[in-house]
């Protein structure tokens, strides 16, 4: 199979190239990459592009389209093993490539928990057999995510884990967190911290404030997150071990991370599209599809998150893809599972930051590619000759409507159903595999 992409506007933060080019992919490898005169057009025009498919050859006139390296999602839940009724590695990675992700890091809260190498090997073998893209397991910090006893971190690292996290459960004991940070530094993979003080969040179901009071729901104060962000930053500072803060949702967390970075503390952070696309208003009608942990916050927090992305206080956009079955969500609000099926909407929701001039396109792509790769030490070569093809073709202006029933993820739990979004992945090429979403457009 040969794929020829002409006149694509490439933005590749890995090779630091940004220009119009022709790309030829043969048998999964980029065989030719020809950059054209910068003068040709620095800004893609809006001429319609064309796709021509023959049995062994795909030709794309990509004028007006962009080509980016395949995106990396450093925070997803693929649910396998143990919760295959919510998602499998096959369906989760299919949702990934549809959303433009060619690398997915999967959290350890499976059943059994990924706290020993057997589970890591199982995930990697399954991904190899049935996966549609690269899968990087994240090992548990503590055995059974119980927060009591460290997992075999060195063995997990050796088995292929790229980071450690008890995501879903915070490590409440500061001494255990200290030891975890020290071990993680020794084995060369960061701790990804789900920051939540369980005593402060105490079975809360949404952000604590006027709205939770009005709705009669128990709230989770911002302090539940910020207390732990502060604690982990202090531990990170004292023991100088790599720390990554997961799904930042509050202005207070942003302020703490900003100050820590200014002091040279080796902390990095991520947020998710829902924290800059929505506020707590999304749960006003008890919509369980907008129930997430940490909860959606206020407009002030949303603005602070956007500013933090702009100022590079938040380094990464991750999905926290958390697919659930209908039964997990069709319950009273307090009991509903937390999470959004996020892989298929993440890029388009994030492109709004570019359309609204919060971020440049280059900055946005950095947060989806080179930044997570650097934090996790995932070796990616970007778009260059003789490298494996790992790229996406994107129309950043194409309008589409989110229809949850069209999700390829088994999780249809999205608060964005019916939303009009701008920006669509038309094709994902990952080695010899390619996924053509072009033809789905009516
Ligand atoms: Zn989490």
Cα dihedral 406, 407, 411, 413 sign: negative
Q: How confident is the model at residue 441 (pLDDT cuts 50, 70, 90)?
A: low
Residue 244 assigned as binding residue: no
194 annotated as ligand-binding: yes
pLDDT digits 0-9 by tens, 279-328: 999 999 999 999 999 999 999 999 999 999 999 999 999 999 999 999 99
- 392: Cβ contacts below 8 Å, ≥ 6 apart: 67, 68, 69, 70, 71, 100, 102, 425, 427, 428, 429
- Asked whether residue 78 is marked as a ligand-binding residue, the answer is yes
Confirm or deny that 321 is annotated as ligand binding: no
Distance set, CA 281 to CA 124, 173, 210, 223, 420 (Å): 39, 33, 11, 20, 18
Q: Please tell me the predicted confidence (pLDDT) of residue 343.
A: 98
Q: What is the pLDDT of residue 53?
A: 82
The pLDDT tens digits for 170-180 are: 999 999 999 99
For residues 13 and 439, the answer to whether their CB atoms sit within 8 Å is: no
- Check pLDDT > 70 for residue 84: yes
Look at residue 47 in the predicted model and tell me its pLDDT.
Answer: 53
Q: Which of 12, 134, 166, 320 is catalytic?
A: 320
CA of 76 to the centre of ligand 1 (A): 10
Peptide bond into 9 cis (omega under 30): no
- Residue 222's pLDDT is 98
- Bigger pLDDT: 166 vs 41: 166
What are the structure tokens assigned to 378, written together? Answer: 């995932």
pLDDT tens, residue by residue, 259-269: 999 999 999 99
Would you state the pLDDT for residue 4? Answer: 96
pTM, 2 dp = 0.96
Residues 44-63: tens digit of each pLDDT: 554 556 788 888 999 999 99
Alpha carbon of 438 to ligand 1 centroid (Å): 33
Q: Is a pLDDT exceeding 70 seen at residue 270?
A: yes
Tell whether the model's pLDDT for residue 213 goes beyond 60.
Answer: yes
Q: Which two tokens stand for residue 3?
A: 């794929």
Distance of alpha carbon 412 from its chain centroid, rounded? Answer: 17
CA dihedral 212, 165, 105, 249 (to 10 degrees): 30
Q: Is 320 a catalytic residue?
A: yes
pLDDT > 80? residue 39? no
pLDDT of residue 442: 47
Q: What is the distance between the alpha carbons of residues 81 and 58, in angstroms, rounded to a whole number?
A: 36
Dihedral sign (CA 92, 94, 97, 102) = positive
200 Cα to the center of ligand 1, angstroms = 16
240 labelled binding-site residue = no
Average confidence score pLDDT of the chain: 95
Residue 273 CA to ligand 1 center (angstroms) comes to 14
Per cent of the chain over pLDDT 90 is 93
> From ligand 1's centre to the CA of 18, what distance in Å?
34
Residue 42 has pLDDT above 70, yes or no: no
How many other CB atoms are there within 10 angstroms of residue 187's CB atom? Answer: 15
Instruction: Assess whether the previous peptide bond of 26 is cis (omega < 30° from 0).
Output: no
Q: How far is the CA of 341 from the centre of ligand 1 (A)?
A: 14
SS3 for the chain, per residue?
Answer: CEEEEEEEEEEECCCCEEEEEEEEEECCEEEEEEECCHHHCCCCCCCCCEEEEECCEEEEECCCCEEEECEEEEEECCCCCCCCCCCCHHHHHHHHHHHCEEEEEECCCCCCCCCCHHHHHHHHHHHHHHCCCEEEECECCEHHHCCCCECCHHHHHHHCCCCECCCCCCCCCHHHHHHHHHHHHHHCCCEEECCCCHHHHCCCCEECCHHHHHHCCCEECHHHHHHHHHHHHHHHHHHCCCEEECCCCCHHHHHHHHHHHHCCCCEEEEECHHHHHCCHHHHCCCCHHHCCCCCCCCHHHHHHHHHHHHCCCCCEECCCECCCCHHHHCCCHHHCCCCECCCCCHHHHHHHHHHCCCCCHHHHHHHHCHHHHHHHCCCCCCCCCCCECEEEEEEEEEEEECCHHHCCCCCCCCCCCCCEEEEEEEEEEECCEEEECHHHCC
pLDDT of residue 52: 83
Is 109 a known ligand-binding residue? yes
């Amino acid at each position: 199979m040969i794929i020829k992409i002409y006149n694509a506007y490439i933005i590749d933060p890995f090779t630091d190239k940004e220009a119009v080019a022709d790309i030829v992919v043969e048998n999964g490898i980029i065989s030719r990459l020809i950059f054209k005169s910068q003068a040709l057009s620095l800004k893609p025009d809006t001429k319609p592009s064309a796709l021509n498919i023959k049995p062994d050859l795909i030709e794309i006139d990509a004028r007006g389209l962009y080509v980016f390296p395949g995106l990396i999602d450093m925070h997803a839940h693929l649910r396998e093993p143990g919760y295959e009724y919510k998602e499998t590695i096959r369906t989760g990675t299919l949702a990934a490539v549809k959303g433009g992700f060619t690398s997915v890091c999967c959290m350890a809260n499976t059943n059994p928990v990924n706290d020993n190498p057997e589970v890591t090997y199982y995930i990697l073998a399954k991904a190899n057999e049935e996966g549609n893209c690269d899968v990087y397991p994240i090992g548990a910090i503590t055995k059974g995510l119980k927060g009591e006893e460290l997992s075999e971190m060195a063995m997990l690292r050796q088995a292929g884990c790229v980071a450690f996290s008890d995501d879903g459960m915070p490590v409440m004991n500061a001494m255990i967190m200290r030891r975890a940070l020290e071990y993680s530094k020794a084995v060369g993979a960061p701790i990804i911290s789900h920051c939540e003080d369980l005593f402060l969040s105490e079975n809360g179901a949404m952000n604590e404030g006027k709205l939770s009071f009005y709705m009669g729901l128990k709230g989770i104060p911002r302090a539940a997150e910020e207390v732990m962000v502060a604690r982990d930053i202090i531990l990170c500072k004292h023991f100088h071990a790599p720390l990554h803060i997961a799904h930042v949702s509050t202005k207070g967390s942003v302020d703490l991370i900003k100050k820590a970075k200014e002091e040279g503390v080796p902390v990095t952070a991520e947020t998710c599209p829902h924290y800059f696309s929505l506020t707590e208003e999304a749960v006003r009608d008890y919509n369980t599809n907008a129930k997430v942990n940490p909860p959606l916050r206020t407009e002030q927090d949303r603005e602070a998150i956007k500013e933090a992305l702009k100022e590079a206080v938040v380094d990464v956009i991750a999905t926290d893809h958390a697919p659930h079955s209908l039964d997990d969500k069709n319950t009273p609000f307090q009991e509903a599972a937390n999470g959004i099926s996020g892989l298929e909407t993440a890029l388009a929701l994030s492109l709004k930051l570019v359309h609204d001039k919060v971020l440049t396109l280059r900055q946005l792509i950095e947060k989806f590619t080179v930044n997570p790769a650097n934090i996790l030490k995932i070796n990616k070569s970007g778009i260059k000759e003789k490298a494996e093809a790992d790229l996406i073709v994107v129309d950043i202006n194409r309008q589409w409507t989110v229809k949850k029933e069209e999700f390829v993820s088994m999780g249809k739990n999205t608060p964005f159903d019916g939303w009009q979004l701008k920006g669509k992945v038309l094709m994902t090429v990952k080695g010899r595999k390619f996924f053509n979403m072009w033809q789905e457009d009516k």
